Amino acid sequence: MPPGRKTGSAAARRPRIAVLGAGGFIGSHLVPRLCDRFGATVDAVDVTFDKLAEGLPGVTRVWASITDAGLLEEITLRADIVISLTALCNPALYNTRPLEVIDASYTDLVPLVELCAQRSRWLVHLSTCEVYGLCALTADGRPARRMDEERSALCLGPIHRERWTYAAAKQLLERVIWAYGRHHGLPFTIVRPFNVIGPRMDFIPGVDGEGTPRVLAAFMHALLMGEDLVLVDGGRQRRSFLYVDELVDAIVRILERPKLCQGQVLNLGNDRNDVSIRELAQALSTAYRALRPHARRSRMRKRTAEEFYGPGYDDSDVRIPSMTKARRLLQWRPRMPLADMLPLIVADYLGRYESRLADSARSGARPQVP
């Protein structure tokens, strides 16, 4: 059980948890589990709730932005635990709307950290594997295979590579959280998710969002439209994909272990699912064809990063988490292989988008292609 404000109090038995960004991809998976597992009372804060199930017991929907005057004061006054998920976490924005990315990842969240410190609320902050930057390094900057919370030096590209605005802002917020923890008693846990994917991720351009979503939704969009899957720089970059339910398992385990997990930075990823983006494209196409054997065949097309994202983009070639700390603290080991998760994800996208795309094709309002 996660702690309430006073051990043994009613709050300890039925914690009050504020989830900021509850209506997004991860929030929509996490909030129901918080209700199931802890019987928690949840303040679910977001500006949209399309992805979150209706009628969850104990959940109050708070339609608000974290930048609304007084919102964070009100939320931190009530909550025992605050889980912060809000961000602009889409690489297509990092070099095109960098100031908004920095505000969403840093400026807007500093007041939250201050309030949690003043009121001794446990802040569980979802940061990102992007803080490791270009590549895995040892503490003294030599190449390493895995990204490690305790040892890795963090390596961002030069300033004109605006790709790193997000990582720099996220890293600075981690440092602020750490400083409040070490010097001002803030109970905190920093989580670094590694390429979490699953149902309800991102958006389909022209249907429920605009622009370029992250790779999984970009490929799903292409498959649903019978368009080319674009492999940026040939798709040789590698990512380790974690299924969203397993991320949620790990967050639940964190909340069950306040003594072990407070004051910690934790990678949450799946090192067994380290694949190239080309391999992801092939596996997703296979999963799609299994459910829609007669659909128009998509092909793969190479584009340079500059063509696809514009100037200032940059990339990490390989991103493999060290799993040691999460395994030790949480007894958590994710098991879902890519081949098992992709059919579930494809089925979800088909259920949510196929008829909407067909309707707009019939009416001639063809959705925009990224």
**Residues forming the site for ligand UGA (CB under 6 A):** 89, 91, 128-130, 166, 193-196, 214-215, 218, 230-232, 235, 237, 239, 277, 315
User: Which of 119, 214 has the CB closer to ligand UGA?
Assistant: 214
* Least separation in angstroms between CB 221 and ligand UGA: 9
CB 106 within 8 A of CB 172: yes
Q: What is the DSSP letter of 9?
A: S
User: Which of 43, 314 has the CB closer to ligand UGA?
Assistant: 314
Task: For residues 84 and 18, give the distance between their C-alpha atoms in angstroms, rounded to a whole number.
Answer: 8
Active site residue 166: yes
Q: Within the chain, where are the H helices?
A: 10-13, 25-38, 71-78, 91-94, 98-105, 110-119, 165-184, 215-225, 244-256, 258-261, 277-291, 305-309, 324-330, 338-362
105-128 as b/e, with b when 16 or more CB fall inside 10 Å?
Answer: bbebbeebbbbbbeeebbbbbbbb
User: Which of 64, 134 has the CB closer to ligand UGA?
Assistant: 134
* Least separation in angstroms between CB 194 and ligand UGA: 5
Task: For residues 300 and 215, give the distance between their C-alpha atoms in angstroms, rounded to a whole number.
Answer: 13
10 Å Cβ neighbour count for 61? 17
User: Which of 114, 315 has the CB closer to ligand UGA?
Assistant: 315
* Least separation in angstroms between CB 239 and ligand UGA: 5
Nearby residues of 73 by Cβ (< 8 Å), 6 or more positions away: 115
User: Which of 73, 306 has the CB closer to ligand UGA?
Assistant: 306
CB 81 within 8 A of CB 17: yes
* Least separation in angstroms between CB 230 and ligand UGA: 4
* Least separation in angstroms between CB 185 and ligand UGA: 28
Taking each continuous run of H as one helix and of E as one strand, the counts in the chain are: 14, 13
Catalytic residue among 94, 106, 132, 166: 166
What residues are annotated to the active site? 166
